[in-house]
Structure 1
Amino acid sequence: MSNRVYVFDTTLRDGEQVPGCQLNTQEKIMVARELEALGVDIIEAGFPISSPEDFRSVQEISKAVSEPVICGLSRAVEKDIKTAAEALQYAKRKRIHTGLGASDFHIEHKFRSTREEMLERAVRAVKYAKSFVEDVEFFAEDAGRADPVYLAQMIELVIAAGATVVNIPDTTGYCLPHEYGAKIKYLVENVKGIEKATISVHCHNDLGLATANSLYGLINGARQVECTMNGIGERAGNTSLEEVVMILKTHKYLGLETNIKTQQLGPLSKLVSRLMRMPVQPNKAIVGANAFAHSSGIHQDGVLKHRENYEIIDPADVGAGSSSIVLTARSGRAALNYRLENIGFKLDRAELDMAYEQFLILADQYKNINDDHLQQLMAKMQLKAEV
């Protein structure tokens, strides 16, 4: 089995379903071009049947982007599939992503159907999509809660019908990592013809487990991961692209690798956040404002002595510049001295002790101490900067 993991980005489809985060066609093209530069393998450009604007967006992205596969979503309905094919007509590499429910809960309460009928509909949809494009991805919605034996039966049938990728979504974010990994492993070991298709993982974050579940899926045989920048998406969001990519890069012993140019993660995160008007929480892994910021005196001292004491990722590797030493009431002498030297003050031990006493008084008045505060502190103590 190959160790190459294909990155399927759905920021422009699943990510854009967040209320208030809709983009116009030009904004989508801007993001798609940056995703191409990032090195993603597949861009899910939209759901063409959903609106004329979404149809146009998929069509225009197909013209603007040439390297990644361009994917259009559809339900397992002929009109949806045909519309997706029409929207993808200009794509150099095109994929139709179609599917339906696999869990008994969805079969009974959403589709009001039977297991047998759903299998027939799944096969019909894949065969119809195959009449338009060679690359067909099938999603077994709510696979996380599906009976493994029935799920395996459905996957076997759609592969026989021509599916090149089989998507096993944890649609509701229900699974625990070991459960989801076991589900992927069961398919690898029990589906006839599974070697003819790529297994894809698409996990939601309702319980905060999307990245962990995706990782366990990859470890157990999946080779495509569906994700979004900043982890945006329906409800609590999707698997975060930057998280899963950096996990694989950091833990090289897993033997899994992507084609992502990680130095571009930070800038693209900011672009997506700005265009979608969706702020990134400061403590967000990899791309949050505080991801490489240190305010505790013990941590600051350790980072200043050797960055890897408290950082397992080099900020430059994700386009975040350098580590940040934030001065607060919890900071120590080493951090204060470091920041003072940065603005031109080199103090001896006695001067630093005096400055630190005054700094603590100032730090109790303000949440964070900036360079202007330090300049004022030095002026008050009449300590001169180096010339």
Structure 2
Amino acid sequence: MNRLEELGRRVAEEQDRALIGVERRATVRRRVLGSASSATRRRAVRVLAVVAAAAALVLAIVALRGSRERAMTFTVGDDAGSAGAWISAPSDRSVDLRFSDGSALVADPAARVRVAAVDAHGAHVVVEAGALDAAVVRRAATSWRFGAGPFDVRVIGTAFRLAWDPEATRFTMVMREGSVLISGGIAGAGQALVAGEVLVADVARGTLERRPVLAPSVPSASVIVEEPVVVAPPAPAAPEKPAVAIAGWRRLAAEGKYVEALESAEKHGFSSLCASLDAPGLYQLGEVARLARNHARATEALTTLRKRFPGDARSAHAAFALGRVAFDGKGAYSEAATWFETYLREQPNGAFAREASGRVIEAHQRAGSVGAARAAAERYLATWPDGPHAGLARTIVKN
């Protein structure tokens, strides 16, 4: 049944109920009027019927619109999903997310994602680390967004694979059906990607590559592409620590085994690694600790990076990561706001500028700093009026 038929059905039901009421009121009216002419009584009934029908039409439209505007629901595996909650897939299996509109996501083992918001038209999904496969159902007014690092993906109805490696700051998008618009970071204002194309963005190197999907060597029902991997920088010379020890935690990190990677780093001296690694290695170590949810070790590695390499671009990236540790890990929202603002001071046009600006709004709001949240929201809207935090920013400005 299409929307017009549904509207007609509801109008008919409301009219039937209204006319029953009209007949009852007409009976009462006849008793009251008594001597009134039959023509007068008929006119009164007709007027009441028209008024009731009009009211029924309005009620039906409102009811139908209300049913259409209800936010979608979703499940994570067999459990009901909750917007805003982080979803961490186990290291040995994937996790299915199914939405009430028929759309579905499959998060790879060890992936970490968050359904930040859900409404009647779609969802805003954040990929913190790892990869997912998505099949989004096209409907009227469909509006889905996927965020990964500094990148924002707008989706109408399509199937694709998205991967984000936070340590290597590498974004990969493989289109299977439909098309998307990718913006943010080195993607700029927008990169349209269509079925059969791959986009790989390396934030650290500042490179953006587009190419056709590699044809599979054997027939397959799905697209076969090379999986994104962590490109680890060379280990520095450290005679007191075997190179195999450094390679060990990096290899585990590349496999998405962040807890095991951190354990490996601890066995060979976490603080010693902080003192010997170069800037890329320190940033990677800090991200491993953050993703393993060891906030103390993440803070140690990232603050060491900022002290040892103050002029390196990754020093600013470390400030952004420290903001995430404070916000997502410790719930220290004022501290998080300070770190995000530090990143923006050091790299106002950096790869994470838009995301940091949005997280500043969230941090001030949760810290109860109303004035600071409003000021941050106004700055955000002036720069990114269509960004992923624009809805939150407008709500704060209006209030």
Structures share a fold, TM > 0.5?
Answer: no
Q: Which has the higher contact order (CA 8 A, sep 6+)?
A: 1
Bigger proportion of residues as strand: 2
Give the TM-score normalised by structure 1. 0.31
